Structure 1
Amino acid sequence: MPFNLSDEQLAQTEKELDAKLPHEYREVMKIDNGGEASTDEDDWEFYPIKDTSDRKRLSRTCNHIINETESCRGFGNFPENAIAIAGNGLGDQMVFLKENGQFQNTVFLWLHETGEIQELAASFSEIEKL
């Protein structure tokens, strides 16, 4: 069963990131924090945004976007200004890039083996969640 996400929990994550997340992404995650998507490139599982409002939600969001981003940094070629929002289960990530204190609307594909970044969608609204 999908969990919603409060504005307060979103604000806490943005404070930890020291940047605002894209509006379209925020609105979708407030309704269904996590989920899946399919693109021409691959199938994706969205990482939730950390929710500390109760023990069950904290447990269900332990693989949140900040933790997953830190794991990606272990590859050594993950962009410093990126946040991982979804993975394909094989190491590649769907990411947003931060510019001027804000994560941009464009969704990128980060290839873990090469460190290459490719545009996946001009905005999050182009990614259809399943």
Structure 2
Amino acid sequence: MPFPVDSKWITETEAKLGVRFPASFVVAMGEMNGGAVDVGTDVFWLHPFMDKSDKKRIQRTCNSICRETASMREFEYFQNELVAIGHNGGGDALVLKPMDDDPTTLEHTVYWWDHETSELHLAANDFNELNKS
């Protein structure tokens, strides 16, 4: 069950990954740290920001963006610059990628990484365009 997250945990995740998340993603996740989004042809469950406020929140957020991104980066064909923000349960990932002119800032565009082809497919031009559930 998603719940709000304090911005300090978002900032901590950004520091660990060395990137800044797009504002629309930060605002949405700040209100509901997790949940699911519909990309039209599939549903992706969002990885939360790790929240160390108390034991219950630690348990609910242990599948954090940092942990899941690190796990995905172990796959040979997953591009190391991508940040995994969700999964569809079948091996594909919902990802953000860095801007070409500033690799420390992630694009607003959301992509669907296909585990069978390693190709990126446009999921949305902005996180706010995705239907949240």
TM-score category (smaller protein): over 0.9
Structure 2 unmatched ranges of 5 or more = none
Which residue pairs with 2:59 in the alignment?
59
1:111 aligns with 2:114: yes
**Aligned residue number for residue 7 of structure 2:** 7
**Letter of the aligned partner of 1:31 in structure 2?**
E
1:38-85 residue CA offsets vs partner (Å, 9 max, x unmatched): 222201111111111111111100001111111212321111111011
User: Where do 5+ consecutive residues of structure 1 fail to align?
Assistant: none
Aligned length: 130
The answer as to whether partners of 2:39 and 2:124 remain within 8 angstroms in 1 is no
Q: What TM-score, normalized to structure 2?
A: 0.93
Q: Work out the CA distance in 2 between the residues paired with 1:112 and 1:12.
A: 28
Match of 2:19 in 1: 19
Mapped partners of 2:111, 2:27: distance in 1: 19
Give secondary structure in 2 for the equivalent of 1:33. Answer: coil
Q: Map of 1:1-130 to 2, 5 A cutoff?
A: 1-99=1-99, 100=102, 101-130=104-133
Query: 4+ runs of 1 displaced by more than 4 Å?
Result: none
* Identity between Structure 1 and Structure 2 (%): 36
Contact kept? 2:85, 2:95, Cα under 8 Å:
yes
User: SS of 2:131's equivalent?
Assistant: coil
| RMSD after superposition | 1.1
Distance 1:75 1:8 in 2: 30
Write the distance in 2 (CA, Å) between the matches of 1:19 and 1:37: 22
Residue 98 of structure 1: SS of its match in structure 2? Answer: coil
Contact 1:75/1:112, CA 8 A, preserved across alignment: no
One-letter amino acid of the structure 2 residue matched with residue 67 of structure 1: R
TM-score (normalizing by structure 1): 0.95
